[in-house]
Chains A and B, each alone.
Chain A
């Protein structure tokens, strides 16, 4: 066989090998509503939503290295904006989603402008305070229903919400892949994360890039918040603006591996399943907070690069395991 053909064959084989897990998962993901019970459709939707949220956090927290501890506010904002546009303005769902995302992004840019010019610690503090403030605002305002929350029109169609969430999450991951793993934008973010001063020296406008990253990272939670609102039909400040939203985003991204493409997905998968299991066993208590807190501490102490980090360091590598398996099977 000619050299070119040989190389093509090798390439397509390795391509197949690399992309097949993803293809398999995608296929399963597409048909889930037809093959599992409603409970599992719900759980799958949750996992997808959190995967999208965790990845959004990852954009500013993991790739750029600016930890945002008030990110849940964008989710809640999206929920409320969608609710308001649907109820008070009578706009269609999709439109409300878009407005939610855009407003979230704009707000992020406004908040980011003074806070991103400073060091990471200030940003963490300021965003945390921002999150608390948004929750308080939602409790005060009339248009949000105050502490009583807001009721959205009922639309009871589980598969619909599953597919909408799937679509948005796919977009989140695709955007992250294209913009952050492949394009100059991602390189610039990494440079900022690793050595911001040197990045400036090399001509990168760090402030503008950071603001863009922050706005992008807020856009998707805004949309996902809107979807969530319509899905659960009832929202109130503690359910969509509570600190636990950010807590979950952070622990999922960290556990999976911050700064990586698939880390947040892994983290969301693991954490949400464990969360659901705990609900089953202990009921809806507050014990899960202890677990989350302990998990964050443990991850920072022992596996700061998350599961993906462990895989990259070959401590825990499915590829290695698979190689071993093939070797055994060949015998």
Chain B
């Protein structure tokens, strides 16, 4: 059991964003989290990575209680995360962006540079290494986002809607990339709206609605689950089925 959240809850001024959420992620697994907009997916990520401290509940990572710790400590423990809208460091090159990620483990600038090159090669961004980040396409920014997270040498990777805005071709490439990362031993949690990704990548899927877990199981089970259909498409549609 690599990550476990136990009765995690947080509200923002009367609105409960995450409501007693408990889930487990085994090592080597790819977990998918889906749910309508506003169901608490990104908030959950924020809770795990320490951006918010929960009102109640715990987060246990690799046996350590990381609830409420600051994000940089959690990153040092081995959780990497990408943002929905890529957040690169603007006045730097692609390479420099990734180098910043390597600083946790690399002891010299030289080692940092080498490690960064390796990662860029792995995500196939090495050709754009010396370009300023502002000049780079969205797809490349997403790869950069991923590369930077990988640079911190995580054991758990949280991908927040990494496919948003990508074309079908780009999505296929991204799926391949994520699968190759998984083969290297990374445990991954994927928040997605694109069903193709969920179905082809995930071992297990958790469905959230209004901050609560409403279903959990294998991808093909979830897709046929009544509750899930109702949450996504509303009462009318599920009644018709």
Contact = CB atoms under 8 A, between A and B. Distances in A.
So, do A and B actually touch in the complex, CB under 8 Å?
A: yes
Interface of A: 182-184, 187-188, 190-191, 194-195, 197-206, 259
B111 to A, nearest CB: 11
Contacts of B186: none
B72 A195 contact: no
B59 interface: no
B49 A202 contact: no
A187 B1 CA distance: 35
B87 interface: yes
For B88, B89, B104, B109, the residue with the greatest tally of chain A CB atoms inside 10 Å of its CB is: B89
Given A184-B109, A190-B91, A200 B75 contact: yes
Interface extent on B, as a size class?
20 to 34
- For the complex of A and B, the 10 pairs showing the least CB-CB separation, nearest first, are A203-B75, A200-B71, A203-B104, A194-B89, A198-B87, A202-B101, A195-B87, A194-B90, A205-B72, A200-B72
A183 B91 contact: no
B116 to A, nearest CB: 11
B75 A201 contact: yes
25 contacts: A187-B92, A187-B99, A188-B100, A190-B89, A190-B91, A191-B89, A191-B92, A191-B100, A194-B88, A195-B88, A197-B71, A198-B89, A198-B148, A199-B89, A201-B80, A201-B83, A201-B149, A202-B72, A202-B100, A202-B101, A202-B104, A204-B100, A205-B72, A206-B72, A259-B91
B151 interface: yes
Nearest to B83: A198
A161 B100 CA distance: 41
A197 B89 CA distance: 11
A183 B81 contact: no
Contacts of B50: 200
A201 B152 CA distance: 9
Nearest to A198: B87
B87 A200 contact: no
Interface string B139-155: 00000000011011000
Nearest to A204: B72
Contacts of B99: 187
For A188, A195, A206, the residue with the greatest tally of chain B CB atoms inside 10 Å of its CB is: A195
Contact of B151 (A182, A194, A202): A202
Interface string B156-199: 00000000000000000000000000000000000000000000
Given A184-B109, A200-B70, 6 more contacts: A191-B92, A201-B81, A201-B83, A204-B103, A205-B72, A259-B91
